[in-house]
Structure formats: C-alpha cells, structure tokens
Amino acid sequence: MLHTYELQRDEAPQCITAVTFAGDPTNYIAVGTADTVSDDVPAKGRILILEISETNQLKLAAEMEVQGGVMAIKELQGKLLCGINERLCLYAWKTRENQASESNLILECSHRGFVLVLSLAIHGEFIIAGDLIRSMTLLRYTNGKIAEIARDAWPDMLTALEAIDDETFIAADNASSIFTLVKNTETTSEDEAKRLQWSGGWHLGDQINRFKHGKS
C-alpha cells in the first residue's frame, strides 16, 4: 500500500474510475461517495477528483458535494458521467483560471428516469445504465444531451453490466444469473424499438459485481 485518502465521517466510497479530462493531460482518479446515515436512498454524496503526486501520494484536486449518493461513475468523451440516485449527470472539467466557480466540475447535462442508478458502461457514444429496480437502459450522448433509446421492460436489480458492442449488452442480477439483451433493429414499430430484447441467459449461482473486456 502506497497511500490512503481518508473520507469524512458517515461517508462511504461507492465507485471509482480513472479519468483523463479533455484539455488536461493529467491522469486523475475519480471517486463517488454516499452518506451512510440516510434511512432510504442516500441524501448526499461527493465527487472526489484525486491526483497522484510524484511521491505516490493521493492529493485532492477537486471535490463537489451533490444531492444524493454517487453510486456509479465513468469517463465519457473526456468528461465525467455520474449516476447520482435517480439521475445521470455529465460533468465537464474546467481549470480554475477559466471559470470563477469553486469547483472544476461543471454540470453539462443530466437525465432522469431511474430509481437508483447502480452501474454504468460506456461504448462510444452509447451509455448503458443499470438500475436498482428498472433493469437496463440504453442511452446516447449526442449534441450535448443524453437521450434514452431503449430499456428492458422487465424489472430486475442489476449488480453488473457491460456493452459487448453497439447492439448487444450483458448483465448480471441479484439472483446470481447473467443474461444478454439486444437492440431491436429489425422492427418497424416505434414502441418495440424502445424495448431491449432478451437474447439469452443462464443461472450462474454466484453474484457478479463486474464485467471487464479481455484481450483475445
């Protein structure tokens, strides 16, 4: 262990990712936290941007307190995408010399429509979000906005997900099963196109917390 970073009292880390922001060559570590004292969903949390010093020490580069727990976090096109309770928030990075706010993180856009976002995956301009109850949702980030494309119509609590390609997605749920969903690209019905189609699955018997692309 090289170094540790201490959180606040009654605060727990929920997610972590490496991020390189557009216009800044520095490699940062982004951490999402949530309070541990709320009765239901987290009432507040923080986004921490940590920098590794030349002596391998974790140094706080920026922080932002938000309303809700930061349960999932991913880099998206040089920006930071966060799942904060029932919404997705995309933050751009600005240096202090270029803006007058206290934080380097500037909210660019957001999208609501979830119960509690628990996991995120990125594939190009596509966003795949896993929910506490509403299973999987496919969205796209274009022209500075996040828009929903399709979602799984069946309720499910996901523990992990990942994009295999632009049209196929894999997920694991709290029943220790894994399954794949696909976009319905052959239908002419607008309603059917908004529903992800079940492709296959099986009961593993163990809970999966993370999918990761490997090298062939």
Give the tens place of pLDDT for each residue, 163-175: 999 999 999 999 9
Looking at the structure, do residues 4 and 104 belong to the same domain, yes or no? Answer: yes
For residue 216, tell me if it sits in a domain.
Answer: no
Tell me: do 10 and 79 sit in the same domain.
yes
pLDDT confidence of residue 102? 60
Residue 21 amino acid letter: F
Of residues 187 and 209, more confidence is placed in 209
The total of other beta-carbon atoms located within 10 Å of residue 192's CB is 12
Host domain of residue 31: 1-111
For 135-145, b/e burial (b = at least 16 CB within 10 A) is: bbbbbebeeee
Residues 155 and 123 in one domain: yes
Domain boundary (111, 129, 148) is at 111
Same domain, 106 and 117: no
Within this chain, do residues 95 and 186 fall inside the same structural domain, yes or no?
no
Are 100 and 187 in the same domain?
Answer: no
Pair 194, 160 in one domain: yes
Q: Which of 62, 74, 140, 66 is nearest to 101 (CA)?
A: 62
**Mean pLDDT rounded to a whole number for the chain:** 93
Closest-CA residue to 167 (of 189, 188, 193): 193
Two structure tokens written together for 207: 């809970």
CATH number where 185 lies: 2.40.128
Answer whether 0.75 is exceeded by the pTM: yes
pLDDT in tens, 40-91: 899 999 999 999 988 889 999 999 999 999 999 999 999 999 999 999 999 9
Q: Encoding tokens for residue 172? A: 């694991």
Closest to 76 measured CA to CA, from 203, 169, 171, 163: 163
Q: Are 92 and 166 members of one domain? A: no
| Structural domain ending residue among the three candidates 60, 77, 111 | 111
Judge whether 142 lies within some domain.
yes
State mean pLDDT over 97-104.
Answer: 58
pLDDT score at 106: 95
From the list 114, 108, 136, 105, the residue with the least C-alpha distance to 123 is 136
